[in-house]
Chains A and B, each alone.
Chain A
Amino acid sequence: AQSVTQLGSHVSVSEGALVLLRCNYSSSVPPYLFWYVQYPNQGLQLLLKYTSAATLVKGINGFEAEFKKSETSFHLTKPSAHMSDAAEYFCAVRVGQNFVFGPGTRLSVLP
């Protein structure tokens, strides 16, 4: 069965520091992978998605993710954290018509 794991339920970085949020997936077929962000008391918004066109995917708000098949990973990065990046981040893999989400990583940005 397809699944998604996110290492670290809570990550703290200083403002201006590199953000790295980890996502690993298991899939028996070529995956379609997504990163979503959720701000407090809101729904989820799409940050970026991988659909096999390019392994390095750029998203909104300066985020990007790299698909590495050999590592079954799709880690999310941003070179310089901003206070407004504080939120919860979810990695997801599409399975048929459905989506499987990871447990989420809460990002805190310290001044």
Chain B
Amino acid sequence: DVKVTQSSRYLVKRTGEKVFLECVQDMDHENMFWYRQDPGLGLRLIYFSYDVKMKEKGDIPEGYSVSREKKERFSLILESASTNQTSMYLCASSRQGWANTIYFGEGSWLTVV
């Protein structure tokens, strides 16, 4: 089975802190994604990466950055956390190719106080 692991399920951070959300996949997938999920808004893409050291902005990249130094790991960074970044963050991965499925991690609940 494909495994996408997010290192932290629940985090509480203070406004202005730098926050790292880590994600690891074990299926040698080329593509990795970070989504944000908010009630009534569904999933919104923050960033995605189709190869090591490559990244593309999604729909809502402002206030976020990402890092992909190794194929299996994709990190989301909040440079200076703000209360409006309180949300559920979902990491996902997939193979390249139209018919391939996207697999999700369990999610990270971030609260910024």
Contact = CB atoms under 8 A, between A and B. Distances in A.
Instruction: Decide whether A and B assemble into one complex.
Output: yes
Given A43-B4, A104-B42, A97 B101 contact: no
Contact of A34 (B40, B96, B101): B101
B107 A90 contact: no
Chain B residues touching A, range: 20 to 34
Interface residues of A, number: 22
Interface in A84-111: 90, 92, 94, 97-99, 101-104
A42 B99 contact: no
Given A42-B107, A43-B105, A43-B106, A102 B48 contact: no
A51 interface: yes
B52 interface: no
Contact of A97 (B50, B90, B104): B50
Given A32-B99, A34-B101, A103 B41 contact: yes
